[in-house]
Structure 1
């Protein structure tokens, strides 16, 4: 069977500066709904692409409304020679192989201390690991994060491979998914 080439999506979007933190050295853009609709999922999706002709790879975040947004780091802003307020041409395509997510140090330490949880963790897909990480880190309070790490390790140790009942798109929960508030 031939491998399927991901659909390339091209659009123009305005780079916005987040309101918080006030000294942010990054920008963001919100994908137009028709561009987002061409992606394979309403939740996080990793893409290869170009921003103003400059190549990048990033994970688009769900906006909770069925679309996506992209954080544009200061390195990409500088490489593309663009700044907030500019309208840029973006071309993206979903990656053919999901990259390994960066595991936060506190979760990494908890997994290292629980061999059964670590065994399941090592056996699941990068997308499943990304979901676990997002579930753990999406809590607003430090004590919630600690509880979620313990719960994740217990569930992984018992063989649960997915962060159950976690709304990856933000469309069905009261989560705080969405782009940052733009500075005026």
Structure 2
């Protein structure tokens, strides 16, 4: 029986991301072993892509980074959608306030 796909604490992975992660049993095992916050960070990073090509690249990079042993996306400031913690000063200034301009 196939394991249920685990999502993040705020975000749910899209079908394209889910299928890519499940395509390789090693990558899928690494995904399932991540913490809910770790999975959430990867999903948020993918969901933040503005163009389909960027989204596809980020999904591919997620698979690569998992195989490299990464637990969070490289060079990602972090999910600003979480309600369980206050955004850092950097997130507030750059990601949140910057989008209002």
TM-score normalized by structure 1? 0.39
Residue in 1 that maps onto 2:77: 167
Residue in 2 that maps onto 1:111: 21
Any gaps of 5 or more consecutive residues in structure 2? Answer: 1-7, 81-90
Contact 1:114–1:157 (Cα < 8 Å) also in 2 = no
TM-score normalized by structure 2? 0.66
Q: Distance in 2 between matches of 1:149 and 1:162?
A: 13
Q: Greater strand percent: which structure? A: 1
- Deviation, structure 1 residue 122: 0.6
Q: Distance in 1 between matches of 2:59 and 2:68?
A: 14
Larger radius of gyration: 1
Contact 2:46–2:55 (Cα < 8 Å) also in 1 = yes
Q: Distance in 1 between matches of 2:38 and 2:13?
A: 12
Contact 1:124–1:161 (Cα < 8 Å) also in 2 = yes
Residue in 1 that maps onto 2:65: 155
